[in-house]
């Protein structure tokens, strides 16, 4: 591609707001937790004595693959890319039913459910904040520039 054909990405003006940084850090922590959990389940499935080795290995690989979404979103949030808010919001929405199911358990999973719910709600609040939205260059409905045809 020549320089004329390469699309330019508009850079956002100003420093990254703290709310955006916090949202990126929380999203990255979720991705890291998924990756660590996936690796742990995978290794345990290979070296331990699970009920179903194939199921344990598959779950580990799935968790590591799912970790890519929040990790890529966190990278985009740090770089102030507007596309990154969507995957991060999706990650938070997916975390809420997981937290709810952990809260319904009568076991040691309840604190994990509380932690997941708190992080997901806090991250959602940070992501929909107007300051974050402006920093990512996302415009609300009705604020798109007029196009003359």
**Using alpha carbons only, what angle is made at residue 72 by residues 40 and 139, rounded to the nearest 5 degrees?**
145
Structural domain contains residue 116: no
pLDDT at position 1 over 60: no
Q: Which pLDDT belongs to residue 8?
A: 44
Q: Let me know if residue 97 belongs to a domain.
A: no
Is there a domain that residue 43 lies in? yes
Contact by Cβ (8 Å): 70, 90? no
User: Residue 31: inside a domain, yes or no?
Assistant: yes
CA atoms within 13 A on the CB side of 46: 9
Element (H, E) at 90: helix 85-104
Domain ranges, residue 30: 18-78
* pLDDT tens per residue across span 44-96: 988 887 788 889 899 999 999 999 999 999 999 999 999 999 999 999 999 99
Q: What confidence tier does 16 reach under pLDDT thresholds 50, 70, 90?
A: confident
For 140-149, what is each residue's pLDDT tens digit? 776 656 566 5
Per the structure, the count of domains in the chain is 1
- Indicate whether 130 belongs to any domain: no
The answer to whether residue 9 is domain-embedded is no
The answer to whether residue 74 is domain-embedded is yes
Confidence of residue 124 (pLDDT cuts 50, 70, 90): very high
């Amino acid at each position: 591609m020549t320089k004329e054909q390469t699309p330019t990405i508009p850079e956002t003006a100003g420093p990254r707001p703290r709310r955006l940084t916090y949202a990126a850090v929380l999203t990255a922590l979720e991705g890291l937790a998924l990756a660590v959990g996936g690796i742990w389940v995978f290794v345990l499935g290979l070296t331990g004595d699970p009920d179903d080795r194939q199921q344990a290995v598959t779950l580990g690989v799935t968790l590591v693959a799912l970790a890519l979404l929040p990790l890529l979103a966190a990278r985009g949030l740090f770089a102030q890319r507007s596309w990154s808010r969507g995957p991060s919001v999706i990650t938070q929405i997916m975390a809420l039913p997981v937290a709810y199911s952990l809260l319904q358990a009568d076991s040691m999973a309840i604190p994990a459910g509380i932690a997941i719910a708190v992080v997901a709600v806090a991250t959602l609040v940070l992501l929909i904040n107007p300051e974050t939205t402006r920093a990512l260059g996302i415009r609300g409905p009705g604020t798109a520039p007029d196009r003359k045809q």
